[in-house]
Structure 1
Amino acid sequence: MREIAGPPSPELLEEGRLLFAGECDFYFGSQRVDQLPPIDLPEVAFAGRSNVGKSSLINALTGRKSLARASSEPGRTKQLNFFNLSQRLALVDMPGYGFAKAAKSVKEDWQNTMFAYLRGRTTLERVILLLDARIELKTSDKDVMELLDRAAVVFQIVLTKADQVKPGALQKKREEIEALALKHAAAYPRVIVTSSETGEGIEDLRGEIARFARSSDGTAQS
């Protein structure tokens, strides 16, 4: 069994702070894989169920209030949104999944589009998979983990809304998800607990993401 990876080093945490202190701007939106922007920067994508807090987390990471915007109707956002972070990394906001009211054809279209993106995007370094710390794992979450395994794309699980869970229950949830991650071939064996409201885990996640940013000499961080 794989061991759970350790946290980012102090140097990497500082690199993450500096990276996310830079400019971050929306530069491309794509509803189909044949409309993706040219391959350039390394990419880190964010995936999660509708209402998991994905937009809030991206805004917290970048220190902005409305860089990523949540739709008022879950499942309505259907495009991949690309953000340029300091000319060193692209953050990709993927459409939410698991929306109950969506037609079956819409759900299948989401899966087909996302799988094509995951399999074909050579600059995609990691997927940050968000799970709501308050609720039980859903079938759609399990389906996405299996999809990521099949696509052979490394993903890291991040628990959101930790401020709304009591410490004992949160620790139990973290241990449960860490055990689950170890069972998935494509899962990075370390779970990060976050809260966009209190800032918990934000510095840690910035450090993890900084591993993939292009440095001033054009190489990835160590």
Structure 2
Amino acid sequence: MQVKSAVFVKSAEKASQCPPQTLPEFAFIGRSNVGKSSLINYITNQKGLAKVSGTPGKTKLINYFLVNDGWYLVDLPGYGYAKASKGVRQGFAEIITKYLESRDELTCLFVLVDSRLEPQKIDVDFITLLGNHGIPFAIVFTKIDKIGVEVLRDNIRCYSEKLLESWEELPPMLYTSSSKRKGADELLTYIDDCIELVNTNK
């Protein structure tokens, strides 16, 4: 897939304000500062589409972008920002939960994980929650340029082993680097395949 157009549509404070459910939605989520905005800008080839900030927890709304006039890219608030107040964290959690529960057109939720880190409990718990609720998702490892190939391989194996403690099989996994421009083709191909499957099953 080539991204020929990507335009901002709207920001929603809650799921009920999201656009009508007429197109496939691909949402991006992850812990604060995992590189979500950079990845969105990279795969859409637009530097300023999603706002990149050095301040974790910057995304507080559900942001919708229309891509190729055929599907929505959805930028969800990050989770796990420790410096946010308890009330703010609960608010983020409620927004995310309501979105996941109400969007029938959610075709895949991309859960972004920092490839440099060992499995984080908050990520594993969130992934388990998705599995328990039947939410379609894939894991996207970010910042793969920041570590060596062998370390990356070890980290991926560690993550896989952790998930297999409670999962019968692993979810799809993708590997990206926004700064080195790696992984966009694979991610967009995955989206394209998902859209084709949706259209076939209609």
- Please give the TM-score of this superposition, normalised by the length of structure 2: 0.90
AA paired with 1:112? E
Please point out which of 32, 42, 60 is paired with 1:78.
Answer: 60
Q: State the partner residue of 1:189.
A: 171
- Please give the TM-score of this superposition, normalised by the length of structure 1: 0.82
Shift of 1:55: 0.7
Q: Distance in 2 between matches of 1:181 and 1:190?
A: 12
Please point out which of 70, 85, 100 is paired with 2:82.
Answer: 100
Q: State the partner residue of 1:5.
A: none
Shift of 1:201: 1.7
Q: State the partner residue of 2:103.
A: 121
Q: State the partner residue of 1:64.
A: 46
**Structure 2 residue 189 is matched with structure 1 residue 219:** no
Structure 1 unaligned runs (5+)?
Answer: 1-15
Counterparts in 2 of 1:27-176, with a 5 A limit?
27-176=9-158
Query: Secondary structure in 2 aligned to 1:156?
Result: strand
Q: Distance in 2 between matches of 1:31 and 1:186?
A: 36
> Which of the pair has the greater relative contact order for Cα pairs under 8 Å at 6+ separation?
1
Shift of 1:72: 4.1
Q: Distance in 2 between matches of 1:211 and 1:98?
A: 31
**Could you tell me whether the CA contact under 8 Å between 2:14 and 2:98 is conserved in 1?**
no
Percent of pairs with identical residues: 35
**Could you tell me whether the CA contact under 8 Å between 1:115 and 1:147 is conserved in 2?**
no
Query: Secondary structure in 1 aligned to 2:195?
Result: coil
Structure 2 unaligned runs (5+)?
Answer: none
CA RMSD of aligned residues (A): 2.3
